[in-house]
Chain A
Amino acid sequence: MSTAAQFDIQYRQYLDPEGRFLPEVDPATLPEFTRDPAELLKMYRMMVLVRAFDTKAINLQRTGKLGTYPPAAGHEAAQVGAAAALHAEDVIAPVYREIGTQMWRGVRMVEILRYWGGDEAGNDFVNTRHDFPWCVPIATQTLHAAGAALAFKIRNQPRCALAYIGDGGTSEGTFYEAMNVAGVLKLPVIFYVVNNRWAISTPLCQQTAAQTLAQKGIAAGIPGIQVDGNDILAVRHVLEQALARARHGEGPTVVEALTYRLSDHTTADDASRYRSASEVEQGWAVEPMKRMRAFLQHLNLWDEAQEVAYRQECNLLIEEGVNEYFATTKPPVTAMFDHLYANPPKRLLDQRDEAVQLSGAKSLHG
């Protein structure tokens, strides 16, 4: 007997939880951005803003001012690191938790709040016109990214698509179909698995018998790599390399970022029903913000006073975004009819008239 094929999955981590380079890492070999104070601070500041905004969004939901909301706490390095690796002209197909990437790319707080507050208008991003909106059905977005990547390839554009997917999503058949077609057509797409260990109440050990999720690309002929998703330097570097491959016609990559969902699945979930406090505590011990802040402090790029001042700045920005959201009004009843077709059928227009009449009658009589 002989070996027909052999594969391995590499794991990448640069910083330990205290923000120091691992002994085996030679910082001089790392890319330029790891030595660029402006880039490092930009990434950290976005992580802080995202965490603060996330906390505010949860509070808005708890006080009845926002609908169900999926918190992002713990995913800041995975999300912001990915955003920093992408080019503006690339396209993302997010799941529903990726505010860290979206805010970096220009999605406005009012848009995020408007969507989770119950208005599709929040998906009409003014700055990232090509990015896909939040995707609630699991794994389906991987094919949209592959389709966009196929469009880039056909048009000979040096652009890439990045599809997010969670650990639970990798159990869906769609994920395999997307990887398979991306592999065979050599599409410029990244399948970015953000493995936060929990799919609502299902832990990874009940999701798959696979040792890693990165290896799920192997059967599709796609290289896979695992990265510490709480180490923003490693995340950004791994994705930059995968994107460069894709941009140069070398095809897709599966990148698995290991992180931890520090919060509930959504505000409608209570994670204490299915996971222990001690496990969550361990999650907090290795969370990404602390690590990046410590790293910056070791480099003397950041201190407590700057932290306090910046957090105040964040609060003002968030207050502005929230006020903008509060100033939005309920969409007219016609909104559900007016964006369904470019050429609406007559039967729909009749129903629209009916709804307008009823809503008018309602406003007259309270």
Chain B
Amino acid sequence: MAKVTLVEAITLAHNWEMSHDPDVLVLGQDVGRNGGVFRATQGLQEKFGNQRVIDTPLAEGMIAGLCVGMAAQGLKPVAEIQFMGFIYPAMDQIVNHMTRLRNRTRGRLTCPVVIRTPHGGGIHSPEHHSESVESMFCHIPGLRVVCPSSPARAYGLLLAAIREPDPVLFLEPVRIYRYARQEVEDNGQALPLDVCYVLREGTDCTIVTWGAMTVESLKAAEELARQGISAEVIDLATISPIDAETILDSVARTGRLVIVHEAARNVGVGAEIAAIVAEHGLYDLEAPIQRVTGYDTIVPLARLEHDYAPSVARIVAAVRATLS
């Protein structure tokens, strides 16, 4: 078993699935010879050839549209959009076609497509390279939105996403692409989609988060533990559809909920989670729900980016507020 980073786990998952399913192919800008700007597809073109790892021209809408056409013919494209801030030209194809084709043909044509894209900031990137706009995509019927929080989760969830018969937007938290190494058994074992993962059990407050913010949230839980507060940390993992049961069960035990996400607060995924708990778990709550999120501002450039994203201190303060 090898110790790998999150981005290496992504490569391993591609490699496994391409080795075992001849219909899986990779396309995107710079994914072939260059192995992707983050090296997520490193070595794949060498191994599988340029018919299965395709360097495309530069047009995100084109990449998504090609995926629709290929998938309708039974291929399983895994496309890389280089940064989430560049995904908007692809939205037309995602919203109008990729997620609708199964429904509008009554299952005659389907779109088993994965669109992978880096997610969030924190690595001193240029403008438009630090976006976390998952809520825009969670509103789209027919689309799954998935975000791993560790190498093992990245490996298992990406395999599941590629095997899913419907489109999946796979968000890769850049901040933790190389944050830590973890032992990942390269055995082709997928992890289930549509469920949350409890990263740390606790009794006083539930923290729901995803992606890179799981790291901050776990650090906050450590700090809270030192202060005598037991926080449960839940990794949402599949951001849409939300696994309401796991969250509601946890809140029923802890009575308190803090939602942490990097994205802006207004109509963020946190609002949906809060609404679910308000609809189905209001009487379990002993304190108002707290949200720790990016501000409703444009993601600032590098010098302010750490003031934008939720910090350990902000998460700790929010949890303490639910207990005060």
Contacts and interface: CB of A to CB of B under 8 A. Distances in A.
Contact of B104 (A133, A146, A150, A347): A133
Interface stretch (B53-61, B169-177, B179-187): B53-61
Given A181-B57, A342-B110, A143 B52 contact: no
A93 to B, nearest CB: 8
B43 interface: no
Given A144-B68, A150-B70, A178-B65, A120 B105 contact: yes
B212 interface: no
Contacts of B108: 123-125, 129
A124 B106 contact: yes
Contacts of A91: 73
A177 B51 CA distance: 20
B62 A341 contact: no
Interface in A108-163: 120-121, 123-125, 129-130, 132-133, 135, 137, 140, 142-154, 161
B73 A174 contact: no
Interface stretch (B7-15, B95-103, B123-131, B149-157): B95-103
A181 B73 contact: no
B97 A345 contact: no
A142 B101 CA distance: 15
Grouping DSSP codes into helix (H, G, I), strand (E, B) and loop, the A interface class, with mixed when no group exceeds half, is: helix
A47 to B, nearest CB: 27
A342 B75 CA distance: 16
A147 B67 contact: yes
Q: Which of A149, A154, A341 has the most CB of B within 10 A?
A: A341
A151 B244 contact: no
Interface residues of B, number: 45
Contacts of A123: 104-106, 108
Contacts of B64: 143
B96 A147 contact: no
A135 B54 CA distance: 27
B305 interface: no
B166 A147 contact: no
Given A123-B108, A124-B108, A177 B61 contact: yes
Contact of A347 (B71, B142, B164, B241): B241
B234 to A, nearest CB: 17
B68 A143 contact: yes
A340 B241 contact: no
Contacts of B56: 181
B65 A137 contact: no
Contacts of A93: 69
Nearest to A339: B103
Contacts of A300: none
A273 interface: no
A256 B108 CA distance: 30
B62 A130 contact: no
B93 A181 contact: no
B106 A120 contact: yes
Q: Which of A130, A146, A340 has the most CB of B within 10 A?
A: A340
A268 interface: no
A180 interface: yes
Contact of B73 (A121, A151, A341): A151
B57 A184 contact: yes
A288 B84 CA distance: 49
A184 B92 CA distance: 23
A346 interface: yes
B100 to A, nearest CB: 9
A207 B65 CA distance: 24
Contacts of B97: 135, 137, 140, 144
Nearest to B56: A181
Given A140-B96, A343-B166, A133 B70 contact: no
B109 interface: yes
A173 interface: yes
A348 interface: yes
A147 B66 contact: yes
Given A180-B59, A341-B166, A146 B66 contact: yes
Contacts of A143: 61-62, 64-66, 68-69, 93
A181 B106 contact: no
Contacts of B67: 147
B57 A147 contact: no
A140 B65 contact: yes
B222 interface: no
B74 to A, nearest CB: 7
Nearest to B101: A133
B106 A148 contact: no
B73 A130 contact: yes
B25 interface: yes
Given A120-B105, A132-B109, A342-B110, A154 B65 contact: no
A177 B106 contact: no
A123 B69 CA distance: 16
Contacts of A133: 101, 104-105, 109
Nearest to B238: A345
B107 interface: yes
Interface of B: 25, 51-52, 54, 56-57, 59, 61-62, 64-75, 92-93, 96-97, 101-110, 141-142, 164-166, 194, 241-242, 244-245
30 contacts: A91-B73, A93-B69, A123-B104, A123-B106, A129-B108, A130-B72, A130-B109, A133-B101, A133-B104, A135-B97, A137-B92, A137-B97, A140-B65, A140-B96, A143-B65, A143-B66, A143-B68, A144-B72, A145-B69, A147-B65, A150-B69, A150-B70, A151-B74, A174-B61, A178-B65, A181-B57, A346-B244, A347-B242, A347-B244, A348-B241
